[in-house]
């Protein structure tokens, strides 16, 4: 028999089996239990008559699978008599193939095909749902979804046969068996649905690789700038430097991840290292957001900023200690989304704290050119702080996929532009490097720098 099955032949066999089972039941028969087992059939038949009451649900089994039904409740609606049969027929899973289940996912037949019938009964409406305990043929796939289905035969209505989920649901499942709760009796089975990964988009892969390479170049420029440039002692670039280092290394590993797929040990090590780097990147984003918020709050007060941000030892402890604990303890996916939300809240709080500062800025700063620069820097901070990672929740749309790649691969670009290229003193030092005309020590005084969020904020403070 092909994997496509033969639903019409299977339906005919089920119909013949139902008639044969009905022939085994004698109308008005008292309580009895009958078991028939052979190489092709496993049948359990139970009947109750007037005056038979045991005060509990009936339990029938077939090939290890069980059915629990309130037979006494059915008898009350059928002149105090009821009968139920529960059986399996060998090879039915080939005839009633999983191909008859309509879904976009890949499917597998995951159990025996079981049949439950109420022979010689006029009123077959169930008084309560029936529970079937159906054992799996193999272990559940990691990405699989076990589904309780029943065989829907509409050949008499000139319609096709198929597996359907109507009236059946999964009450409980584990790696060995599944309990199905059904509101009607029929032929049942378990079908495993396995989600197919979406086909890889060559355009998105090319775009991602190109953007990551461009982002890595700007990460390198930003790292060299933070390490080699002379910075005002008030400026603490620790969070920005280590944010660049962790993001650059994680992007670099992502470019090489396909080279280690077939090497189990190397793949495990790379996955763990990548996990740590990504979580560490989000922690450093959080620290940068916190320092930005503290700086802006100071700008709204008349005070001298002695040091921009948190002490360096505390930054190291949080920046690498927290990710280490997280990687050892829990998976980081949901936690990363949590960092996104915290960063977003801090970003909004920072904008709110910045509102009176912007309103009180000098008239020369509030000119259109400077205003546009401030707006650009504010929007750039939204990318630098990782708030755009929230777009990962909307990856079913091509527009959001492209936007996610463009923004999150260029965090290094925005870091370099905002904290390096738009900093006047850093630009002057770039010119010195390019012209090889560095001033001797003591000439021209020390290099002054605005608070690293924006030169305009420093002007507002004066």
DSSP class per residue in 133-153: EEE-SSPPPTTEEEEEEEEE-
What was the pLDDT predicted at 102?
86
Of residues 366 and 19, more confidence is placed in 19
Q: Which residues contact 207 (CB under 8 A, 6 or more apart)?
A: 402, 405, 406
Q: Which residue has the tokens 């080279």?
A: 259
Is the pLDDT at 364 greater than 90, yes or no? no
What was the pLDDT predicted at 361?
47
Q: In this prediction, what percent of the chain has a pLDDT beyond 70?
A: 72
Tokens of residue 364, six digits: 């020369």
Q: Give the helix/strand (H/E) hosting 313.
A: helix 312-329
Rounded Cα gap, residues 98 and 116, in angstroms: 19
What was the pLDDT predicted at 429?
81
Average pLDDT over residues 224-241: 78
392-438 pLDDT, tens digit per residue, is: 777 777 888 888 888 888 888 888 888 888 888 888 888 887 786 55
* Orientation angle between helical segments 238-256 and 312-329, nearest 10 degrees: 30
What was the pLDDT predicted at 42?
92
What was the pLDDT predicted at 135?
93
108-161 pLDDT, tens digit per residue, is: 888 999 999 988 777 788 888 999 999 998 876 666 789 999 998 776 555 578
What was the pLDDT predicted at 315?
84
Tokens of residue 453, six digits: 């969020």
What was the pLDDT predicted at 456?
45
Least confident of 68-82, 234-248, 278-292, 366-380: 366-380
Q: Which residues contact 385 (CB under 8 A, 6 or more apart)?
A: 285, 288, 289, 292, 343, 344, 346, 347
On average, the pLDDT of the chain sits at 76
Of residues 381 and 40, more confidence is placed in 40
Q: Which residues contact 17 (CB under 8 A, 6 or more apart)?
A: 87, 89, 115
What was the pLDDT predicted at 337?
43
Q: Which residue has the tokens 């960092």?
A: 339
* Orientation angle between helical segments 333-359 and 264-299, nearest 10 degrees: 20
What was the pLDDT predicted at 348?
64
Is the pLDDT at 305 greater than 70, yes or no? no
53-91 pLDDT, tens digit per residue, is: 666 788 999 999 999 998 888 888 888 888 889 999 988
Q: In this prediction, what percent of the chain has a pLDDT beyond 90?
A: 13
What was the pLDDT predicted at 113?
93
Strand bridging mode 58-62 / 130-135: unpaired
Of residues 349 and 105, more confidence is placed in 105
Mean pLDDT highest for which of 366-370, 384-388, 447-451? 384-388
- Total residue count of the chain as it appears in this document: 462
Is the pLDDT at 311 greater than 70, yes or no? yes
Average pLDDT over residues 230-258: 80
Tokens of residue 165, six digits: 């989920």
Q: Which residue has the tokens 């920046």?
A: 319
Whole-prediction pTM value?
Answer: 0.51
Confidence of residue 342 (pLDDT cuts 50, 70, 90): low
5-57 pLDDT, tens digit per residue, is: 688 888 889 889 888 888 888 766 677 888 889 888 999 998 888 777 666 78
What was the pLDDT predicted at 155?
61
> At CA 126, angle to CA 122 and CA 132, rounded to 5?
120
Is residue 148 a contact partner of residue 188, using CB atoms and an 8 Å limit?
Answer: yes
Is the pLDDT at 359 greater than 70, yes or no? no
Measure Cα distances from 67 to 45, 64, 89, 93, 411 in Å. 11, 10, 16, 19, 59
What was the pLDDT predicted at 274?
83
Provide DSSP, 378-446. HHHHHHHTTGGGGGGGGTTSHHHHHHHHHHHTTHHHHHHIIIIIT-HHHHHHHHHHHHT-PPPTTTT-P
Is the pLDDT at 107 greater than 80, yes or no? yes
Rounded Cα gap, residues 257 and 254, in angstroms: 5
What was the pLDDT predicted at 270?
79
What was the pLDDT predicted at 332?
42
Confidence of residue 455 (pLDDT cuts 50, 70, 90): very low
Q: Give the helix/strand (H/E) hosting 183.
A: none
What was the pLDDT predicted at 313?
84
């Amino acid at each position: 028999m092909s994997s496509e099955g033969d639903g019409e032949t299977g339906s005919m066999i089920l119909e013949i089996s139902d008639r044969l089972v009905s022939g085994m039941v004698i109308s008005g028969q008292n309580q009895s239990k009958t078991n028939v087992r052979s190489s092709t059939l496993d049948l359990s038949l139970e009947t109750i008559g007037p005056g038979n009451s045991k005060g509990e649900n009936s339990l029938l089994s077939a090939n290890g699978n069980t059915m629990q039904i309130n037979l006494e409740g059915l008898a009350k609606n059928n002149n105090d008599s009821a009968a139920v049969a529960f059986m399996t027929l060998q090879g039915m899973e080939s005839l009633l193939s999983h191909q008859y289940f309509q879904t976009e996912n890949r499917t597998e037949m995951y159990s025996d095909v079981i049949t439950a019938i109420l022979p010689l009964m006029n009123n077959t409406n169930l008084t309560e749902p029936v529970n079937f305990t159906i054992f799996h043929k193999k272990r559940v796939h990691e990405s699989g979804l076990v589904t309780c289905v029943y065989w829907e035969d509409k050949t008499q209505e000139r319609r096709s046969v198929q597996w359907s989920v109507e009236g059946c649901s999964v009450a409980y499942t584990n790696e060995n068996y599944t309990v199905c709760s059904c509101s009607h009796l029929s032929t049942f089975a378990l079908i495993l649905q396995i989600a197919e990964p979406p086909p890889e988009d060559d355009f998105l892969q090319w775009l991602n690789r190109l953007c990551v390479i461009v982002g890595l170049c700007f990460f390198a420029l930003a790292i060299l700038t933070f390490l080699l440039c002379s910075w005002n002692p008030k400026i603490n670039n620790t969070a920005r430097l280590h944010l660049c280092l962790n993001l650059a290394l994680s992007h670099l590993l992502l470019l090489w991840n396909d080279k280690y797929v077939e090497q189990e040990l190397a793949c495990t090590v790379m996955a763990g290292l990548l996990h740590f780097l990504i979580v560490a990147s989000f922690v450093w984003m959080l620290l940068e957001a916190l320092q930005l918020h503290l700086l802006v709050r100071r700008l709204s007060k008349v005070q001298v900023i002695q040091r921009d941000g948190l002490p360096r030892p505390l930054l190291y402890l949080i920046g690498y200690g927290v990710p280490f604990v997280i990687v050892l303890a829990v998976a980081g996916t949901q936690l990363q989304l949590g960092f996104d939300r915290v960063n977003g809240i801090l970003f909004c709080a920072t904008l709110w704290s910045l509102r009176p500062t912007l309103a009180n800025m000098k008239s020369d700063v509030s000119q259109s050119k400077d205003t546009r620069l401030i707006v650009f820097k504010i929007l750039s901070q939204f990318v630098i702080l990782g708030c755009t990672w929230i777009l990962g929740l909307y990856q079913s749309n091509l527009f959001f996929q492209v936007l996610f790649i463009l923004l999150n691969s260029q965090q290094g670009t925005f870091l370099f532009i905002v904290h390096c290229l738009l900093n006047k003193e850093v630009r002057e030092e770039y010119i010195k490097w390019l012209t090889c005309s560095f001033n001797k020590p003591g000439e021209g005084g020390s290099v002054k720098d605005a608070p690293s969020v924006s030169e305009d904020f420093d002007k507002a403070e004066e």
